Amino acid sequence: MLVKEGVIESGNYSGQQIMVIDDADETRLHTVLISKDLNSDDEKVSFSLTVESKEELQEFFDQSNWLIRWLS
């Protein structure tokens, strides 16, 4: 499983944290989570999406028009 974290710097959800979980080897799924604080147990997820392919994931990011500063 590969996990990538960042901060959305522009567009919808600007200032919120984003996590992309690539579990394609195990479940064949890619999950996107967005929250004000992904490390907080109290903070609710603002947005989540699960797709079945890297192509669908890339299409989602292309349509989002986000500028993301990746931290990992």
Sign of dihedral through CA atoms 30, 39, 12, 65?
Answer: negative
pLDDT for the residue numbered 56 = 94
Predicted confidence at residue 60, as pLDDT, reads: 94
Task: Give the pLDDT of residue 25.
Answer: 84
> Domain limits of the chain?
2-70
Residue whose tokens read 């292309």: 62
For residues 28 and 5, the model is more confident at: 5
pLDDT in tens, 12-67: 999 999 999 999 888 889 999 999 998 887 778 899 999 999 899 999 999 999 99
Q: Kindly write down the DSSP assignment for every residue of 1-57, as one continuous string.
A: -EEEEEEEEESTTTT-EEEEEEETTTTSEEEEEEES-TT-SSPPPSEEEEESSHHHH
Q: What is the pLDDT of residue 1?
A: 79
Burial 11-47 (b: 16+ CB within 10 A, else e): eebeebbbbbbeeeeeeeebbbbbbeeeeeeeeeeee
